[in-house]
Amino acid sequence: MVDKTSKTWSGCPVRFGMSQFGDKWSFLIIRDLMFKGRQYYHEFMDAGEGISTNILANRLADLESNGILNKSKDPNKGSRFIYTLTQKGIELMPMMLAMMDWAEKYDAKTEVPRDFIEKLRNTPEELQQEILEHIPTPK
């Protein structure tokens, strides 16, 4: 799990990042929210990564308590909750895009759509704006 107890995180930004979202599952949840349009518990479960239900619940709670995502009732279906990125979460986009740029370069198997990667490298601001417009926000 992400370390929350270490007294010594004050100071370093990388250590702060790790304490807020510094594990595999958190990154994948943020990816789902930011690029895949997923916003329900079962959608994260069914994303195909193999996350366990207790771990998903734990990470969602951590990310919420860190102010990276927001949990609210689905107005159209009261038995569901909707998870969305907060502004703080949305602003992780440059980091995520930088990671994707790197991965596309070094992993032959990575399959980011061609026009996505071209926009990322040629007109990143435009791409970010476009993604932003498609990210659901809490109403």
Residue 94: closest CA among 34, 39, 44, 137 = 34
DSSP E strands, 27-139: 69-74, 77-85
| Residues within the interface to DNA (CB under 7 A) | 1, 23, 25, 40-42, 50-55, 57-58, 60-61, 71, 77-81
Q: In angstroms, rounded to a whole number, what is the distance separating the alpha carbons of residues 77 and 60? A: 20
The tokens for 121 are 């490298």
Which residue's entry shows tokens 């959608």? 43
Give the nearest distance from C-beta 93 to DNA in angstroms.
Answer: 23
Give the nearest distance from C-beta 40 to DNA in angstroms.
Answer: 4
Q: Looking at residue 76, what DSSP letter applies?
A: T
Amino acid at the residue 108 = A
Q: Binds 123, which of a second copy, DNA, none (CB < 5 to 8 A, cut-off by type)?
A: none
With binding defined as CB under 8 A, does residue 122 bind a second copy? no
Give the nearest distance from C-beta 29 to DNA in angstroms.
Answer: 12
* Cα-to-chain-centroid distance, residue 53: 17
Q: In angstroms, rounded to a whole number, what is the distance separating the alpha carbons of residues 70 and 60? A: 9
> Closer to DNA at the Cβ: 44 or 92?
44
Exactly one of 74, 126, 130, 138 binds a second copy (CB under 8 A); which one? 130
Exactly one of 41, 55, 64, 112 binds a second copy (CB under 8 A); which one? 112
Site for a second copy in 3-32 (CB under 8 A): 3-4, 6, 8-18, 20, 22-24, 27-28, 31
> Closer to a second copy at the Cβ: 78 or 113?
113
Q: In angstroms, rounded to a whole number, what is the distance separating the alpha carbons of residues 131 and 127? A: 6
